[in-house]
Amino acid sequence: MQFTDAVSERYSCRAFLPDLVPQIQLEEIFTLAGKAPSNCNVQPWHTHVVSGAACDSMREKMAAAITENPQGSPDFTWSGKFAGTYQERQICAALGLWEKQGVDRKDREKRDWSWMRNFKFFDAPHAAFIFLPTGFAEELRIAGDVGMYAQTLMLALTDAGLASCPQTSLSFFPDVVREACGVDDSYRLLMGLSFGYPDLTDAANEFRTERAPLSDTTVFHS
């Protein structure tokens, strides 16, 4: 696959098949993701991948946690509130997904069902949890490194014929993940990523978000 194809074809997959990706292929993909750049080559990402039974167990724990505590207790503050143009994009994305999922905006029960799909990893057989070590003075810049790693990982998955969905929601219960994966509290959970083979029969996977025109995001100077 050409690089431009991987970038263009990547999307947030919200329905997966149960088939497991072979371990050797997972190791190849995550090794490739580790080629991502970082400030001073510190490579601050620490990733824990759950598969099969471990993924199913985590899915159950997450679903129970969000039912008990809908607000969550993330390591990094998250309100989910945006304003202006950013809010417009957020709403457009939600409405577009709901349309494909058959969810009416006024149907609270169906909207809750759509939200809960996040914590069930959209039925993916794999999930990656990406941690950031504590102790960095320039934490925001280091978080940017993790973002570059996550993007490289998603492109590597796409190149391998797989799909993924980056999820802030999977960072809502870091203590649950730390306990399940044996991670100490010197690592803070920044994000999660559901991944696997996409279920192309699910209408949710037909949805694609729009992108702002180049003139809205980029200024060239000469």
Provide the β-strand partners of residue 128. Answer: 49, 193
**Distance from C-alpha of 211 to C-alpha of 58, rounded to nearest angstrom:** 33
* Cβ atoms 128, 192 nearer than 8 A: yes
**Distance from C-alpha of 126 to C-alpha of 154, rounded to nearest angstrom:** 13
Phi-psi region of 45 (alpha: psi -120 to 50; beta: other; left: phi over 0): beta
Sketch out the chain's domains with CATH numbers: 3-209 (3.40.109.10)
pLDDT of residue 137: 77
* Chunked mean pLDDT (size 10), the chain, 222 residues: 94 97 98 97 97 97 94 90 92 92 92 94 98 87 94 98 97 97 96 98 95 96 98
Number of H helices, E strands in the chain: 8, 4
23 DSSP 8-state letter: H
Q: What is the pLDDT of residues 55-113, one digit of tens each?
A: 999 999 999 999 999 889 999 988 888 999 999 999 999 999 999 999 998 899 999 99
* Cβ atoms 127, 52 nearer than 8 A: no
